[in-house]
Homo-oligomer: A and B are copies of this chain.
Amino acid sequence: MTRILKGPAVAQAINTRSTAAALALKKRGIEPQIAIVRAGERGDALSYERGATRRAEEVGIAVRPIVLDETASQAELIATVESLNADASLHGVLLLRPFPLHIDDGAVRNALAVAKDIDGITDASVIGVFTGRGRGFAPCTAQACMEILDYYGIDCAGKNAVVVGRSLVVGKPAAMMLLERNATVTIAHSRSTDLPALVRRAELVITCVGQPRMFDEHYFLPGQTVIDVGINVTADGSLVGDVDFEAVEGIVEALSPVPGGVGSVTTGVLLKHVIEAAERAMRPVP
């Protein structure tokens, strides 16, 4: 029987720890606080902001919404980020992207101080993930995969892992994080040949390609652990992963569902990073 690696239990465990840590910080006179920066009124940004705000308040992290007009200039956006960098009462800054089209994404991203970059979007954070030297924070979705593995006690050392997808937001960082955990890591992608055979050979599989139900029973064997990062909307409006859950359940040893898998862990990771940023800010720089 396939073990279902449910996300909400992982998120709850993370949030319980964050709540305790937030309380401990407050006893020391520090109120953990996140700024959420939005330019314009895009529906998905608004809905993400609402969800993150509710969760943050639940764990005891104050939220400061920063709303700019959709027509805000790049200079205004960068000036905003710089003022948030300089504000010692803020521990994390979340930039809701994509920005409006006239904004240079890289310029704004990299204006953010790495210490407050709780979603791992700056080059300095990317460097930390690539080198394994732990500056900054990893992107939340990649980190969420690791949290699921940790919560369910799945050891990666010496295992053959395949990450299918090579994006900078998930595939590449997840591969580097598995490597840090001493997995042997294969990065596969749309140009890989005989992907089913490749995936069947792995003990641990992370799918992040954005292809609804692409990974069916031909890709899997008993004994495998599968983390499905894909969040795809089908023609009839339902949410499905990159893995064909119905076809694969019963074959593999463990499988994270969609919805209710990785996606339900990412906000918990974001808030955990805010707490860590607040804790780091207390410590003198080594």
Binding site for B on A (CB under 8 A): 123-124, 126-127, 130-131, 157-160, 166, 168, 172, 175-176, 179, 182, 184-189, 191-193, 198
Query: Are A184 and B179 touching (Cβ within 8 A)?
Result: no
Query: Are A186 and B189 touching (Cβ within 8 A)?
Result: no
Chain A interface, >50% SS class: mixed
| Minimum CB distance partner of A188 in chain B | B184
Counting every copy of the chain, the complex holds 2
Residues of the B chain whose Cβ atoms lie less than 8 Å from the Cβ of A168: 130-131
Rounded to whole angstroms, the CA-CA distance of A172 and B176 in the bound complex is 9
Residues of the B chain whose Cβ atoms lie less than 8 Å from the Cβ of A124: 123
Which of B123, B126, B160, B186 makes the CB contact (< 8 A) with A185?
B186
Residues of the B chain whose Cβ atoms lie less than 8 Å from the Cβ of A166: 179
Query: Are A191 and B187 touching (Cβ within 8 A)?
Result: no
Query: Are A192 and B158 touching (Cβ within 8 A)?
Result: yes
Rounded to whole angstroms, the CA-CA distance of A123 and B159 in the bound complex is 30
Query: Are B184 and A187 touching (Cβ within 8 A)?
Result: yes
A-B contacts, 21 of them at CB < 8 A, read A123-B127, A127-B130, A158-B191, A158-B192, A158-B193, A159-B193, A160-B193, A166-B179, A172-B176, A175-B187, A179-B187, A179-B189, A182-B189, A182-B191, A184-B186, A184-B187, A184-B188, A184-B189, A184-B191, A185-B186, A185-B187
Of A127, A184, A189, most B-chain CB atoms within 10 Å: A184
| Minimum CB distance partner of A131 in chain B | B168
Residues of the B chain whose Cβ atoms lie less than 8 Å from the Cβ of A126: 127, 130-131
Residues of the B chain whose Cβ atoms lie less than 8 Å from the Cβ of A172: 130, 176
| Minimum CB distance partner of A106 in chain B | B133
